[in-house]
Structure 1
Amino acid sequence: MKNAKWHRRSASPSELPNPGVPDVETGSGSSASRRLFLQRVGLGALLAGLFGHVSAWVRSLFPNVLYEEPRRIKIGRPEDFAEGGTFLEERRLFVFRERNTFYAISATCTHLGCTVKMILLPQPKRVRIGEQTKEERYEFHCPCHGSKYYGDGTNYAGPAPRPLVWYKLEVAPEDGQLVVNLEETVGQDFRLTV
């Protein structure tokens, strides 16, 4: 066997196995599964983007509606209010009756919006507000930061920068109820006579 010759035959490139290329006949191999995975990821991304656009378009067909409370509010008949001041908690509003006249003052402190408390003075107090001297029976005190207001809403102590707001009162022609107009402020001399 010493004289035996071995012949080596070279394989052509098409005959050599390539581990990275899938076997065409069986369809197996890592490249095929990677390709399928990437196709599915791409399709998923496309569908997600399409869903986002379609859902935004559908949402645009339904407008955003904000329901605000009415700015003209019926608060009751004049005879429902006792002489003096009545606090309407749900409206943060004081309604005052002096015989047959009415006026409304906001209960919202002009400093930071806390609700002020009405204080009935044990006896009327004479105060000078600007050029006028008035007899006050009430005061308003803010429990949050100590602002104080005279009975007409004029600020006199604490951090409140402005007087309390006065709102216009009207009588509803259809049923005779008092209507407060929260869009229309009035001066401190306003009185509604009923």
Structure 2
Amino acid sequence: MDIGSRIKLIRKQQNRTQDEIALQCGFTKSLLSKIENGKTMPPVATLMKISEALGIRVSDLLEEQPRPGTIFNTADQTRDPNRWVKTDKGYSFYAYASERRDKAMQPYLFRARKDEVKAHSLSHRGEEFIYMLSGIMKYRIGQVEYTLHPGDGIYFNSLEDHMLIPQTDTVEYLALFADDRD
């Protein structure tokens, strides 16, 4: 089952309407419908808003089968293109340990190509840490723009508007999203 279908299933199990969820997320019913029907793949920040509105975690949308305990992800898994999610904003992500429920943080590997990323600002609950692996990108947080090179890291409040701007053809970075829900 894909992410959109899982969102729709969970929403219907909760006897909630698209209008209700979209309003709570701060976007249109039309966008939620496109997501649920697989016509668009939103950025992680939008998935976080939807999961918050549904009272679940993003990992509940990414994996159907939860597993307790230690989750080991191999390099082969991160190289498998079928395990990556390509967003409509022009970047792709791999969610580490997505099958683990009730995590305090969610690690992602992001890959963005300069000629594919669409300029867009993000904002969501929680805190975020980014560690640059390869390439160079500018990352705007609020009104301040930072240039990140391999080995650089940045930690910030995710409620601040933020945006990535690749400077090289391809950038890869690790991002940790800490969920501040109790």
Q: TM bucket by the smaller chain?
A: under 0.3
TM-score, normalised via structure 2 length = 0.21
Choose between structure 1 and 2: higher strand proportion. 1
Please tell me whether Structure 1 or Structure 2 has the larger radius of gyration of its CA atoms. 1
Choose between structure 1 and 2: higher helix proportion. 2
TM-score, normalised via structure 1 length = 0.21
Higher relative contact order (CA 8 A, sep 6+): 2
